[in-house]
Copies of this chain bind each other. A is one copy, B any other.
């Protein structure tokens, strides 16, 4: 038995929010020996798809364990509260809005799902708007204390869960159209395309690309690393998560291209 269960925690509460601290407090009260690993609390509010991609990239680096995942535009509506077990052994806890199936894509997928309808595990006074505090974190803490997965509530069909929407990626001969799935703190523009898209579009031999955005067209050059992008130019690298990423030499590619998360970019041979 693992005495010191770790709970990964990601949300859209903002790194500065006391909501994060209150969730930690709730867990400390129920499971004083549990550890919380804050993955990030800067997930974009309402962006279930983007949040899934970030969590998808992060969780494989953690030991298999518990995770509370919260991007929850439907809080207070009828969306359900669920826990899912993944093939790798992780248990993910959060709203039934596509976030957990998205996150599970890098953990072998979902093998079982349950509603969080065992109210004895929840806080007594339950608000309509802060389910992370009142439901998700208490349930995670009880699981860290050793209650079985089946104890959280009744089993539901995995096929019934709200599915995850994959980001746009259209690969054709000579061009790739794809969504911007993230802009990091340095202004690097992460695209919903991996290097195999270059091969499938017969662009693997190209070194210079036209980057078409709603705002115009720019030129970008394949680079092995950020450090190889020439001064004043745009580069295309494979980023540390395995995505194609547009970057600029010590500057923000997102600002240069005037594009953000959810925007659509087309790559063609220049």
Contacts and interface: CB of A to CB of B under 8 A. Distances in A.
Interface residues of A, number: 60
A21 interface: yes
Given A10-B18, A25-B8, A61-B133, A224 B128 contact: yes
Nearest to A128: B225
A13 interface: yes
A45 B186 CA distance: 8
Interface in A230-265: 237-240, 250
Nearest to A2: B32
Given A13-B185, A28-B6, A250 B61 contact: no
A201 to B, nearest CB: 23
B58 A185 contact: no
A77 B37 CA distance: 31
A33 B3 CA distance: 11
A21 B38 contact: yes
Q: Report which residue of A41, A42, A128 has the largest number of chain B beta carbons within 10 angstroms of its beta carbon.
A: A128
Contact of A37 (B28, B54, B57, B184): B28
A237 B186 CA distance: 34
Contacts of A59: 25
A1 interface: no
Interface string A39-50: 111100110000
B225 A63 contact: no
Given A10-B18, A185-B17, A250-B46, A25 B240 contact: no
A75 B227 contact: yes
